[in-house]
């Protein structure tokens, strides 16, 4: 069933993105007076064809659905009959360089516009997200140095000594703001409230390198979701947890006297105490959201095991954990939703470009590249989470597709745009000979990137 959901979600995602991208080319071509011969979704043998009696465009759905294309009237097309004189003004190659530039750029632009619309829909419809409550940070992390102790709710962020602050509405909102500040290596101030009121916490991100900005950068900064309940979801037979008397439903309140409300920090503490007795404060017997149970202290000795990833001995207690974090309903007005959608799209596009640049110069791993298998996996997971998650995923992939197509690689839209910029500056069209050379080089780049992405997909799938 999961496989069926993944395939269906993947097909919907790819279909929507391809249609929007190609329709961007098509609509601007029509506005510029260019005749469009075919609008194809997919490649290969046509499965469905329909010719518009008004425009003469052939609309096609082909057998291989990974992509699509718009074929326009063009004198450079080989193997076709000569174009009648009355139709020559409608040929693509007869258009001015700026019209050709606009037609080619319209595809990626359409993907960015789609992302703005999708994000705006998510923001306007409302979404339930974890609140921006921080757990007790690990020692010596930037969050700990800033003064966070755990339990604070971050409400705003501002740059240095600036007077204007930007509100923080949820955990994901905080993550995006810290991501942008880390990329720009800024000194920021976080305003957070606790039982004593609102306080400022200076956070210096100027020493954070772009290499550190990845999926785990929040943990590196010392920020983990907090303020929730850390529950024992299950206990493995014969484990240290079972011998100590832990049972499913127990709430873990503290470890060695340190309050704990986050699975990541709890697991890290247990790993670092292999073979050493630790004391857990456990709450039992509470019923309902407000009911408090009986507090008990349980001594447990984490079993020492070899970590296959690092080869080091780490501690494990054999308990499955679940975190119930406080959540908040985030909803915005129509105008603010569009503004936030545009901002989120811009931030993600810039992040994608910078990440790709880091991979080129060797500052980021090529493992960050993903192919169709990973996209299908995330499509299925987001679809199961609900409409908001799937729309957000669709917006993210749409941005990635737009950025990818704008890269100055021949065979991609960005390669053609580069030709047109050269033509606009020099007044001369790039020769067919050089275009052929660049085309072969660009094709080699695309094949190499596709091979790496597919390898990464397989590595994630079979864990090697």
| Catalytic residue list | 22
Distance CA(152)–CA(150), nearest Å, equals: 6
Rounded Cα gap, residues 152 and 148, in angstroms? 7
| H-run or E-run covering 274 | none
- DSSP-assigned states of every residue in 283-318: EES--SSS---EEEEEEE-PEEEE-TTT--EEEE--
Q: Dihedral of CA 405/411/415/420: which sign?
A: negative
Strand partners, 303: 316
How crowded is the C-beta side of 377, counted as CA atoms within 13 Å?
A: 9
Cα 12 vs. chain centroid, distance in angstroms? 18
Residue among 239, 256, 264 at smallest CA distance from 298: 256
**Residue 101: how many CB atoms within 10 A of its CB?**
18
Q: Are 168 and 174 in contact (CB under 8 A)?
A: yes
Cα 40 from Cα 26, distance rounded (Å): 11
Reported residue count of the chain is: 464
Residue 62 backbone dihedrals phi, psi, to 5 degrees: -105, 170
CA distance 116 to 396: 10
Of 301, 333, 332, nearest to 317 by C-alpha is 301
Q: Please tell me the chain's helix, strand, coil percentages from 3-state DSSP, rounded to the nearest 5.
A: 45, 25, 30
d(CA 420, CA 425): 9
Q: Which tokens go with 229?
A: 């309940």
CA 147 distance to own-chain centroid = 30
């Amino acid at each position: 069933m999961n496989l069926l959901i993944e395939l269906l979600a993947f097909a919907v995602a790819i279909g929507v993105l391809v249609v929007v991208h190609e329709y961007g080319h098509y609509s601007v071509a029509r506005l510029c007076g260019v005749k469009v011969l075919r609008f194809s979704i997919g490649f290969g043998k046509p499965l469905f064809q329909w010719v518009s009696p008004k425009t003469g465009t052939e609309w096609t759905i082909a057998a291989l659905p990974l992509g699509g294309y718009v074929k326009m009237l063009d004198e450079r097309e080989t193997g076709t009959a000569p174009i009648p004189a009355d139709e020559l003004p409608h040929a693509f190659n007869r258009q001015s360089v700026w019209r050709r530039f606009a037609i080619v750029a319209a595809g990626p632009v359409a993907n960015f516009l789609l992302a703005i619309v999708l994000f705006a829909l998510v923001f306007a419809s409302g979404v339930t997200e974890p609140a921006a409550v921080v757990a007790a940070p690990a020692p010596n992390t930037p969050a700990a140095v800033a003064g966070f102790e755990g339990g604070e709710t971050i409400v705003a962020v501002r740059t240095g000594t600036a007077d204007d602050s930007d509100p923080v509405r949820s955990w994901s909102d905080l993550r995006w703001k810290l991501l942008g500040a880390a990329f720009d290596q800024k000194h920021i101030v976080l305003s957070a409230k606790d039982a004593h009121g609102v306080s400022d916490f200076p956070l210096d991100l100027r020493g954070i390198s772009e290499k550190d900005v990845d999926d785990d950068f929040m943990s590196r900064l010392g920020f983990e979701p907090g303020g929730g309940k850390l529950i024992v979801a299950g206990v493995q037979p014969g484990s240290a947890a079972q011998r100590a008397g832990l049972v499913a439903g127990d709430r873990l309140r503290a470890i060695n006297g340190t309050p704990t409300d986050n699975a990541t920090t709890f697991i890290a503490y247990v790993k670092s105490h292999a073979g050493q007795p630790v004391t857990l404060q456990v709450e039992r017997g509470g019923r309902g959201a407000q009911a408090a149970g009986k507090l008990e202290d349980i001594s447990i000795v984490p079993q020492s095991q070899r970590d296959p990833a690092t080869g080091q001995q780490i501690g494990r207690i054999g308990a499955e954990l679940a975190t119930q974090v406080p959540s908040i309903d985030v909803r915005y007005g129509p105008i603010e939703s569009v503004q936030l959608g545009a901002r989120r799209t811009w931030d993600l596009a810039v992040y994608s470009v910078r990440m790709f640049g880091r991979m080129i110069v060797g500052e980021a791993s090529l493992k960050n590249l993903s192919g169709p298998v990973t996209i299908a996996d995330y499509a299925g997971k987001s679809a199961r989470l609900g409409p908001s998650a799937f729309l957000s995923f669709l917006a993210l992939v749409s941005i990635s597709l737009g950025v990818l197509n704008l890269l100055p690689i021949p065979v991609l839209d960005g390669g053609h745009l580069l030709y047109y910029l050269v033509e606009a500056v020099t007044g001369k069209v790039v020769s067919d000979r050089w275009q052929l050379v660049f085309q072969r080089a660009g094709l080699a780049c695309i094949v190499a990137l596709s091979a790496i992405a597919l390898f990464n997909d397989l590595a994630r799938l079979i864990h090697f």
